[in-house]
A and B are shown apart, each in its own frame.
Chain A
Amino acid sequence: MKLKINRLSTATNDFKTFEFTVSQENLLKALEEIKTNDDPTLTYRCGCKSGVCGSCTVRVNGVEKLACRTNIKEGDLVEPLKNSRVIKDLVVDVSHETLLIKKTNIGIKESASKNISQADVLKIDTQSNCILCNACYSSCPVYEVNKEFLGPFALTKALRYENDLKSQDEEIINSVQANGIWDCTLCSACTFVCPQGIDPKMDIMQLQNISSQKGYTNPYMNNFDNSMGFDSFDSNDFGFNPNGGF
């Protein structure tokens, strides 16, 4: 089977497509096969080989995937993630993670344990399954124009702590206003690619809703026709419905 890989050539600083023949179907195994048999210099991140460390994310035919959880087909094209500086081959700079998380002011200030119920745990269960794989970050069109955007995983994390009964932090909602929840175009690209079944777009809409309840307003509101219902939680007029279609 032929596999194409788009690699950054450090000499010329542009991308070149290389073609390899592989026998493994699993993408991570195929990469390892190439490294062992054809080109030891092929560079990518990997760790758990089971879909939980979030290190092996690449794009396959333009769609973000965990290499270790992807089976390839004849002629597939593998590329590094978007919206980040490519360091080498399939490795991109992910130092933005810390900055983005930091800006949302999350993190429980060590509090006394509170009595919570399973229902409270379930409220943050999905969001706390995030593996920081950056698939959503790479897919998000807003980053192409605004690197300051807090974006899907950071906002999902903000919601996770906002919804945590043990966190009494008033700061989180305030922190996600600028370059945050109102800048998202609700396009659902992030939701589509998340390997953990997280729906960052829905999380962002929830944060918008909580913000509205707490008296914050959408700064872009006056630029839009009210009927677009930008702050209405259950509007289906725009974006896409993650439960429909595929």
Chain B
Amino acid sequence: MQYDVIIIGAGASGLTAALNAKKNGAKVAVIAKTLPTHSQTVQAQGGINAVLYEDDDSVEQHIEDTYKGSYNISNKRNIEYMCKNAKDTILWLDSIGVPFNRNKNDKIAQRKFGGTKKIRTCYSSDYTGLKIVHTLYDQCISNDIQFYNEHQVLELIVSNNECFGCIAYDIVDGKVKEFMSKSTILATGGYAGIYKNHTTNSLSTTADGIAIAFKAGADLSNMEFVQFHPTTLENTNILISESARGEGGLLLDENENRFIDELSTRDEISREIFKKIVKKEKVYLDLRHIEKEKIEELIPQEMRLASEFSNIDISKELLPITPAAHYSMGGIKTDINTNTSIKSLYACGECAQTDIHGANRLGGNSLLEIVTFGKIAGINATKNLSTETINQETINKYINQNKSKIKTLLQRDKSSYSIHKTKNTLGDLMFKKAGLFREEETLLSLSKELEALEASLDSIHIDDKSSIYNKNLLEYFELENSICVSKTLIFSAMKRKESRGSHYREDFNKANKLYEKPSILTYKNDQIDLNFEDIK
């Protein structure tokens, strides 16, 4: 199958890229391991940032807040581009049918999010991400965009540092297929999901795209920066939106005393909460003092989530909470045009590191980023269609390698290693040793433990032998990718000997000017290398 542009991933970034590439006349296909409406973007509740009306806010202020949030390691020009275009981005989403709430003057309504004093976040009730994805998907359907759903991409086809497409595994019928393209866009989402059982992320967010790109030779950047969200439900890690604190929710310790300013930044609050949890103390979100009507009007989804998943009525009871991995600031290194270090390979959305969020992302800036850069990727990938070709022999080599890998996996003898237990172990270890607090010693021991986990991959048994919807095989690939990305995270966390934003080193508990730079990871000839590079 030959396309002009293939897009891997069908969250808001992938769907936006697809629509824009198609609009530019390209022959487009979207490949995703889930269905588009099952992508993680549907989980975004709070909203999407933009300065729409400059009466009390300004684009400059948005740029400044984002830059400050990044702890000075972002690219002001990239941020400026995103913020300047934010209004148009919202108006575009609005024009294709995203039903943004309106205020009394029939203007698009906005709410307040952390990290800024301004009211800047546009929303569609409690379901901003859901409504954005479904609207984009409806547009894709009416524009006849070709979807290959439930196709897990295993590898990029790269020759002489140029990407020619990818190899995917058709989950439904077990076939290995090649998708050839002049341009390839990765929009596979982030990697906070590797903290399994300690994350707000979707169960299918397993860092695939980043691992695949890295193995193909693409540079990664800022992998050490993972944002933890302070308020997720104990036991399930379902997110209780920042709006809860925004509307006056308090954080209480076991003795029902406040211990922190609830409106400090996410990383600070998370760390303070976690210190208590490590000591086996409980921490609660208290909304009892807010009138029930107000709760029902402003945060109805949070009320439902607390009641359904924790069996708690937030208008009457304290809600036990815990911090969890939420968002990954790092990813595949790109420039403002979404180019990666591999020719004809683009990346956008949470899998990309576009020098916007640096060491910490502001709430509401991610949806803005994924739509803004999804559009750039779609357009740019169509403009720069490569004329290079690759011979059939190389393609066959890729196909055969993957087929034989799968065959070998399925033939393996039974062993004591289990995919699911290993996934859980990985999540627990990462949370414990490369979570909210890090230090040389624990990172080193984690690194050893990870080596052992990686070695166990060689003997993990695939229980399901069938070629029909073999989830075990997919889970194996996901585990492989999660381990690969965990390694890059630990490696970067060890090298950054300072504390900055979400990256907190107990042995270097202050920011250090020397490290006021993004980290760049390269992988060549089986060697990982890391450099801190100035922003260009």
Chain A residues engaging chain B, CB cutoff 8 angstroms: 10, 26, 32, 35-36, 39-41, 43, 45-55, 69, 87-89, 91, 93-95, 97-98, 101-102, 105-108, 110-113, 115-118, 120-121, 124-125, 128-132, 157, 161, 164, 166-167
Please tell me if B296 contacts chain A, counting CB pairs below 8 Å.
no
Chain B residues engaging chain A, CB cutoff 8 angstroms: 34-35, 37-40, 42-43, 91-92, 94-97, 99-104, 106, 109, 124-125, 127, 130-131, 134-135, 138-139, 141-143, 147, 149, 172, 202-204, 236, 238-239, 305, 308-309, 418-421, 424, 463-464, 466, 468-469, 471-472
B194 to chain A, nearest CB (A): 16
User: Would B236 and A54 count as touching, CB distance under 8 A?
Assistant: no
User: Would B91 and A113 count as touching, CB distance under 8 A?
Assistant: yes
- Beyond A40-B419, A125-B99, whether A10 also contacts B468 by CB under 8 A is yes
User: Would A53 and B469 count as touching, CB distance under 8 A?
Assistant: no
User: Would A87 and B468 count as touching, CB distance under 8 A?
Assistant: yes
A69 to B, closest residue via Cβ = B308
A162 to chain B, nearest CB (A): 12
User: Would B99 and A121 count as touching, CB distance under 8 A?
Assistant: yes
Contacts of B39 in A (CB 8 A): 47, 53
User: Would A36 and B142 count as touching, CB distance under 8 A?
Assistant: no
User: Would A52 and B43 count as touching, CB distance under 8 A?
Assistant: yes
Contacts of A88 in B (CB 8 A): 466, 468-469
B206 to chain A, nearest CB (A): 11
Known: A39-B463, A101-B141. 14 other contacts (CB 8 A): A10-B468, A26-B309, A32-B420, A40-B463, A41-B472, A43-B469, A54-B37, A55-B34, A88-B469, A93-B172, A106-B142, A108-B97, A113-B95, A164-B99
* Interface CB pairs A-B, < 8 A, 27: A32-B420, A36-B421, A40-B464, A43-B464, A47-B203, A47-B204, A48-B203, A51-B305, A52-B43, A53-B38, A53-B39, A53-B43, A54-B37, A94-B35, A106-B138, A107-B141, A108-B95, A110-B95, A110-B96, A117-B102, A117-B106, A118-B102, A120-B102, A124-B99, A125-B99, A131-B37, A131-B130
User: Would A47 and B141 count as touching, CB distance under 8 A?
Assistant: no
Contacts of B236 in A (CB 8 A): 26, 49-50
Contacts of A124 in B (CB 8 A): 99
Q: Which of A93, A107, A129, A131 contacts B139 (CB 8 A)?
A: A107
Contacts of A49 in B (CB 8 A): 202-203, 236, 238
User: Would B97 and A164 count as touching, CB distance under 8 A?
Assistant: yes
A187-B418 Cα distance, complex, nearest whole Å = 47
A165-B141 Cα distance, complex, nearest whole Å = 20
A112-B420 Cα distance, complex, nearest whole Å = 49
User: Would B463 and A36 count as touching, CB distance under 8 A?
Assistant: no
A136-B91 Cα distance, complex, nearest whole Å = 33
B237 to A, closest residue via Cβ = A49
B345 to chain A, nearest CB (A): 26
Contacts of A167 in B (CB 8 A): 97
Q: Which 10 A-B pairs have the closest CB atoms?
A: A107-B142, A40-B463, A118-B102, A36-B420, A41-B464, A88-B469, A55-B38, A47-B202, A50-B238, A108-B97
Q: Which of B94, B99, B124 contacts A113 (CB 8 A)?
A: B94
B239 to A, closest residue via Cβ = A50
User: Would B134 and A87 count as touching, CB distance under 8 A?
Assistant: no
B183 to chain A, nearest CB (A): 23
User: Would B420 and A118 count as touching, CB distance under 8 A?
Assistant: no
Contacts of B468 in A (CB 8 A): 10, 87-88
User: Would A47 and B34 count as touching, CB distance under 8 A?
Assistant: yes
User: Would B134 and A132 count as touching, CB distance under 8 A?
Assistant: yes
User: Would A116 and B102 count as touching, CB distance under 8 A?
Assistant: yes
User: Would B141 and A98 count as touching, CB distance under 8 A?
Assistant: yes
Contacts of B131 in A (CB 8 A): 128-129
A127 to B, closest residue via Cβ = B99
A51 to B, closest residue via Cβ = B308
Contacts of A36 in B (CB 8 A): 418, 420-421, 424
Q: Which of B42, B138, B143, B472 contacts A52 (CB 8 A)?
A: B42
A224-B37 Cα distance, complex, nearest whole Å = 40
- For A26, A35, A167, which residue has the most chain B Cβ atoms within 10 angstroms? A35
B242 to chain A, nearest CB (A): 16
User: Would A48 and B202 count as touching, CB distance under 8 A?
Assistant: yes
Q: Which of A47, A95, A118 contacts B101 (CB 8 A)?
A: A118
B83 to chain A, nearest CB (A): 20
- For A55, A87, A125, which residue has the most chain B Cβ atoms within 10 angstroms? A55
Q: Which of A98, A110, A131 contacts B147 (CB 8 A)?
A: A98
Contacts of A54 in B (CB 8 A): 37-38
A17-B463 Cα distance, complex, nearest whole Å = 20
A166-B96 Cα distance, complex, nearest whole Å = 8
Contacts of B471 in A (CB 8 A): 43
A113 to chain B, nearest CB (A): 5
- For B40, B100, B308, which residue has the most chain A Cβ atoms within 10 angstroms? B308
A68-B13 Cα distance, complex, nearest whole Å = 26
User: Would A55 and B142 count as touching, CB distance under 8 A?
Assistant: no
B247 to chain A, nearest CB (A): 19
